[in-house]
Structure 1
Amino acid sequence: MAKTYNEVNTQVINLIGKGTVITGDIKSEGDIRIDGELNGNISSNGRVVVGDTGKVTGEIVCKNCEVAGHVKGKMKIEQLITLKSTSTVQGEITTDKLSIEPGSVFTGNCMMGNQVIHEKLKTTEK
């Protein structure tokens, strides 16, 4: 069956490469990988990956997230956030599940649980 132009391919991975600096907000239906620098907010219906050279200053709202680089700001993750051993996160995390590898640095607050995240996402959508 052929795709129509209105269908969104959520298998697409958007990449912000090392050495790239973006100032502004990003909204995507698909996955996003950041190996560069973003000064702004990210909203994705997919997965957000901040690579070891990646740096995000702003809010991240997505389904799943993996951080190996630096994040400063609020994070609202619907399902699972993984903080790799090379990650540094400063801010507030709201998620259903949290995984932190030894060596990771996390400074801030974390609220966990399925009920908490759904209430937070509802207030964000308004």
Structure 2
Amino acid sequence: MFGKKTPAIRTLIGEGTVINGEIKFADGLRIDGEVVGNITAVGDKRTMLVISEKAKVSGRVRAGHVIINGLVTGPVESEDLLELQPKARIVGDVRYEALEMHQGATIDGELHPLKSEDKPSLKLASNNS
């Protein structure tokens, strides 16, 4: 998961840009501006989404490797690694495969590891002597 090649950032939403609507991307996307709408990675390849310190996102965020240092208002799902930098602020529930959270980052919502969904439910051993 972590030793694989990082996808190239092929798309940039620059500072001062505001996008209203859904965004679907492949490979890598960096946001320095504002997005009002859902952001979803598509395709079978590894993906990376960077939400910089200056960025604001209002909507659902879903990608493989997600790095956040700005504000996200909405649920976040990271299929590989979620990195929350010191100025990250999330208002919404978070689902992740692996989580790296720096001091100063905040989450106002619930944390749900994706791994737990794949685990079988607890079975108690019976005493059949």
Under a length normalisation based on structure 2, what TM-score does the superposition of the two structures give?
A: 0.78
Which residue in 2 is equivalent to 1:29?
Answer: 26
Q: 1:40 touches 1:59 (CA, 8 Å); kept in 2?
A: yes
- In 1: Cα distance, 2:76 partner to 2:64 partner: 11
Which residue in 1 is equivalent to 2:62?
Answer: 61
- Corresponding letter in the other structure for 1:59: R
Q: CA RMSD of the aligned region, Å?
A: 1.5
Q: 1:110, CA displacement in angstroms?
A: 0.8
- In 2: Cα distance, 1:97 partner to 1:12 partner: 21
- In 2: Cα distance, 1:12 partner to 1:88 partner: 22
Q: What number of residue pairs does the alignment pair up?
A: 108
Which residue in 2 is equivalent to 1:79?
Answer: 80
- In 2: Cα distance, 1:80 partner to 1:17 partner: 24
- In 2: Cα distance, 1:13 partner to 1:39 partner: 20
Give the strand-richer structure, 1 or 2: 1
Give the helix-richer structure, 1 or 2: 1
Q: 1:65 to 1:12 in 2, by over 3 A?
A: closer
Larger radius of gyration: 2
Which residue in 2 is equivalent to 1:43?
Answer: 40
Q: 2:9 touches 2:30 (CA, 8 Å); kept in 1?
A: no
- Corresponding letter in the other structure for 1:19: G
Q: 1:34 touches 1:50 (CA, 8 Å); kept in 2?
A: yes
State percent identity of aligned pairs: 30
- In 2: Cα distance, 1:56 partner to 1:88 partner: 10
Unaligned residue ranges in structure 1 (runs of 5+): 1-9, 118-126
Under a length normalisation based on structure 1, what TM-score does the superposition of the two structures give?
A: 0.80
Runs of 4+ in 1 over 3 A off after TM superposition: none
Matched residue SS, 1:116: helix
Q: 1:77, CA displacement in angstroms?
A: 0.9
Which residue in 2 is equivalent to 1:120?
Answer: none
Q: 1:87 to 1:12 in 2, by over 3 A?
A: closer
- In 1: Cα distance, 2:22 partner to 2:117 partner: 25
